[in-house]
Amino acid sequence: MKRYCEPMIYNDLLKKMVFIGGPRQVGKTTLSKALCTDKFKGGEYLNWDNDQDRRAILKHEWLQASPLIIFDEIHKYPRWKQWIKGVYDQKSSEQQFLITGSARLDTYKRGGDSLLGRYHYWRLHPLTIDELPAGMSAKEGLEKLLTLGGFPEPFLLGDMREAARWRRERFDRVIREDIRDLESIRNIELLSLFIDALRERVGGMITLANIAADLQISPSTAKKWLSLIEKTYLAFAIYPLTKNIPRAIQKPPKVFFYDNADVVGDEGARFENLVATTLLKRLHFLEDYYGDRANLHYIRDKDGREVDFVTVVNNKVIDLIEVKLSNSDISTSLKYYSEKLKPENTVQLVMNLSRSYNQGEILVTTPQEYFKNPPWKKLK
């Protein structure tokens, strides 16, 4: 299936080099090879992990007439930044470069940038409610996303047993390869227990000091591990919105997982995680395509008033979203913050809802209905 950002990546490649980051096995290689087949016929794919390809990369052995050269996992080469800058500056104007990777590629993008002005950066996300295979209903898609997660291979395979095996293998590779590639971790088993503790707390505020005490590690270690988990695209943290919120809490994050099936808990926790990943995917699209500054938050004040999600784009509150499994009665906290913040959209998403309705400025609806028009569809 064609991925949501493929047309925009194609257009960017006509002008600049493109980097594609994102979780391991989210489909970066598949998307890249699809571009060689559909748009850049005759393109070449070179993977740093392949011995033969690695030698070809270091010796610059590819056809100058190839319209697209894909360098997969090139960030594992210690001097890759200087290397890619050199070959890019010498390439033909008719030849384009596509670089894919995960943790280290994204870390480089956040740091010093000797390639400034030479590339566009994209983050590829798993499948979500608003990106499903052709012919699949939104209802069926939602059920599969809640049980199989949104990574293409297990989702499309549709087998619970195989999905569990795939997830275990992916988790082990991220822990033992990607994380160790970024940081020396003495006790991998403790890190696995730390991640398990986060999986059990999806949707709740995370007090890292408490988890650290349970595992007998320092709070600073717990904070460092959370950062590593984010860099390797296992999970992401969102923090409370404090601007213009009287008596707002200041620090505790909430943590959600890119793979919805990683969540340990009831259906409500998995549903909230699915909404979080869908919102983050849209916000990253706005950043990667339009250059917006976009952030995902939650709200909670010292009086206990809480709303699950707030999207902020270019310092403006866009969406105020409360998530419910079946209760369609409008949250009093949602009403309160809707009046205070006056967002563009105030929504209560209910998974099991017989009929959508409006009450003043507040819309009560299903996730299938609310997420049916993502920003990338408006460009086609």
pLDDT along the chain (380 residues), means of 10: 95 95 94 91 94 96 95 89 90 93 64 73 96 95 96 96 95 84 79 95 95 95 93 94 78 94 93 98 97 96 94 97 94 96 97 95 96 89
Residue 114 has a pLDDT of: 67
Cα–Cα separations (whole angstroms), residue 89 to 43, 56, 66, 369: 19, 18, 16, 47
SS3 content of the chain, % helix, strand, coil (to 5): 45, 20, 35
CB 24 within 8 A of CB 262: no
Residue 370 has a pLDDT of: 97
CATH number at residue 34: 3.40.50.300
Q: Same structural domain for residues 189 and 321? A: yes
CA distance 115 to 315: 28
Q: Which of 99, 91, 102 is nearest to 17 (CA)?
A: 99
Within-domain flag for 346: yes
Residue 78 has a pLDDT of: 85
Residue 103 has a pLDDT of: 67
Q: Same structural domain for residues 182 and 298? A: yes
Q: Which of 123, 149, 167 is the last residue of a domain?
A: 123
Cα angle at 171 between 169 and 177, to 5 degrees? 95
State which residues form the domain around 370. Answer: 138-379
Q: Same structural domain for residues 112 and 216? A: no
Residue 183 has a pLDDT of: 72
Q: Which of 123, 153, 185 is the last residue of a domain?
A: 123
Q: Same structural domain for residues 243 and 334? A: yes
Q: Same structural domain for residues 278 and 367? A: yes
Within-domain flag for 132: no
Q: What is the pLDDT of residues 267-280, one digit of tens each?
A: 999 999 999 999 99
Number of domains, the chain = 2
CB 13 within 8 A of CB 95: no
Residue 134 has a pLDDT of: 93
CA distance 81 to 84: 5
